[in-house]
Structures are given as structure tokens and as C-alpha cells.
Structure 1
Amino acid sequence: MYERILVPTDGSDVAEAAVDHALDLAEKYDAEVHALYVVDIDSVNISLGTEQVDRLKQGRFDEMEELKEQANEATGVVADRGAERAVDVAEHVAGGRPHKVIGDYAEGHGIDLIVMGSHGRAGVRRALLGSVTERTLRSTHVPVLVVDYFDED
């Protein structure tokens, strides 16, 4: 049923809950998992110059160590958990508008299912879904499994 599962991640607890679901499904269906970290160009645009934003859109993070570390850490968690379960994980980092990058990646890589958290690390939690999740649901034809996370503290 599923051969390629995309899990967008920002390293948040909600995203990590989605990772667990994606890996469970990958084990069941012998699927590969694609971990995608998207640097939201709109949110970093204010503090960066045009040249730096253009580099981010091209996926060039070489001069932005902090962003590179966050991205590698977030996708690395997926890869490490996948390795523990013998699930193949492809890591990818991109810059742009998250919902658009997620949709384009899914279409361009033959993704069968997107598994993502109900809301991310940025901003205040909305009544039902985070804006990236909601926009992804509205802009892709790939099935999306939305995973929520409740902090037990």
C-alpha cells in the first residue's frame, strides 16, 4: 500500500510523535521514509538579506551553521530511529514555504503518504491544526496522516 512515506520534521515533540507513526507504517509496509526539514523562508526573511534568503531557497545552508545544525539534528533523529528498526530513511533539507516544499517534494519523489504533526514548534497552537499542516492538507493530493501530541506534564 505504501512504498514511500514523507515525514516533515522540525524536531518538535509533535513532529517526533509523527516520526513514530511513520516508522511504524514503514515497518508494516516495508516502505522507505523520507525525512524533510524545511527552513521557512517567510519566517527568516525578516532577519536575513536577499542573498541569504536566495541561498536558503536553493538549499545552501553552508554559511548558516545554526540552521544547518537544526536541520541535520531534526532529520538525523528520523534516520537514527529508522536505523534502529531497519527502515531506510532518506534525509532532505530545503528552504521555502513549508507547505509548498512538502507538496512539491511529495509529488517529485512519488510519495504515497505524508505523516506530519498537527502543529509545529513555531507560533501558538491553533484551535485544530497548525498553519503548515492545514495548508499542506489543502494543497496536496497525497494522503496526509495528521498526528497530534499531548504533553503529559
Structure 2
Amino acid sequence: MYERILIPTDGSDVAEAAVDHALDLAEKYDAEVHALYVVDIDSVNLSLGTEQVDRLRQGRFGEMEELKERADEATGAVADRGEERGVEVVEHISGGRPHKLIGEYAEDHEIDLIVMGSHGRAGVRRALLGSVTERTLRSTHVPVLVVDYLNED
């Protein structure tokens, strides 16, 4: 049923909540997992300049080593957890608008399922999905499993 499962991750607790669900499904269906980190160009400091933004879109971080480390840590955590369970994980880092790149990645890599976390806000706000999750749901035809995250604080 599932041959390739995509986990968009930013390393947050919300994203991490989805990893176990995705890995469980990958084990059950002997699927390959793809961990995708997208540097949100819209939220990066606009003073970077056009050349640096273009590099980010291409997944080249150059002098922005802190962003690269954060991205490697996020996808690496998925890969490490996958390895513990005998699940192959492909890591990919890119820059752009997250929901758009998630959809494009899913299409380009023939992803069968996207597994992502909701957000961890409490109260009325919690009833609404995070903007990246909601936009992903609206912009792709690939099934999306949204894993609820309850903040225990």
C-alpha cells in the first residue's frame, strides 16, 4: 500500500510526534521513508540578499552554517530512529515555501503518504491546523496523515 512515506520535519516536538507513526507504517509496509527539511524562505531574514536566498532555494547554505546544522539535525534524527527500526531513510534539505516544496517533493519522488504533525497550541487555537500543515493538505493530492501533538506543559 505504501512504498514511500514523506516526513516533513523542522526538528520541533510537533514534527517529531509524527515520526513514530511514519516509522510504524514504514515497518508494516516495508516502505522507504523520506525526511524533508525545508528552510522557509519567507521567514528567513530578508537582509540576506537575492543571491543567498537563491542558494537556500537550491539547498546550498554557504555561510549560513547554523541553518544547515539545524536541518541536518532534524533529518538526521529521523534517519537515526529509522536505522534503529531497520527502516531506510532518505534525507533531503531544500529552501522555499514549505507547503509548496512538500507537494513538489511528494510528486517528484512518487510519495504514497505524507505524515506530518499538527501544532501544539492549546485551547481554541489548537482546533486549527498549523499553516504549513493546512496548506499542504490543500495543495497536494497525496494522502496526508496529520498526527496530533499534545503539549504536556
Same fold (TM over 0.5): yes
Kindly provide the CA deviation profile for residues 52-88 of structure 1, in whole angstroms up to 9, marking residues without a partner as x.
Answer: 1011011101321000000000000000000000000
| Correspondence for 2:48 | 48
| Correspondence for 1:107 | 107
Read off the aligned partner of 1:28 and give its amino acid letter. K
Secondary structure in structure 1 of the residue aligned to 2:151:
coil
Q: 1:12·1:120 contact (CA, 8 Å) conserved in 2?
A: no
Q: 2:120·2:126 contact (CA, 8 Å) conserved in 1?
A: no
Are 1:68 and 2:80 matched, yes or no?
no
Read off the aligned partner of 1:41 and give its amino acid letter. I
Moved over 6 A (4+): none
In structure 2, how many angstroms separate the alpha carbons of the residues matched to 1:60 and 1:105?
17
| Correspondence for 1:128 | 128
In structure 1, how many angstroms separate the alpha carbons of the residues matched to 2:117 and 2:40?
16
Q: 1:32·1:87 contact (CA, 8 Å) conserved in 2?
A: yes
| Correspondence for 1:26 | 26
* Displacement after TM superposition at 1:50 (Å): 1.2
Secondary structure in structure 1 of the residue aligned to 2:48:
coil
Read off the aligned partner of 1:141 and give its amino acid letter. H
Read off the aligned partner of 1:97 and give its amino acid letter. R
- TM-score, normalisation: structure 1: 0.94
* Displacement after TM superposition at 1:45 (Å): 4.5
Read off the aligned partner of 1:107 and give its amino acid letter. E
Q: 1:113·1:143 contact (CA, 8 Å) conserved in 2?
A: yes
Are 1:10 and 2:25 matched, yes or no?
no
Cα RMSD for the two superposed structures: 1.5
Q: Which runs of 5+ in 2 are unaligned?
A: none
Greater share of helix:
2
Identity fraction in percent: 87
| Correspondence for 2:38 | 38
Secondary structure in structure 2 of the residue aligned to 1:152:
coil
Read off the aligned partner of 1:33 and give its amino acid letter. V
| Correspondence for 2:83 | 83
- TM-score, normalisation: structure 2: 0.94
Secondary structure in structure 1 of the residue aligned to 2:46:
coil
| Correspondence for 2:144 | 144
| Correspondence for 1:57 | 57
In structure 2, how many angstroms separate the alpha carbons of the residues matched to 1:138 and 1:11?
23
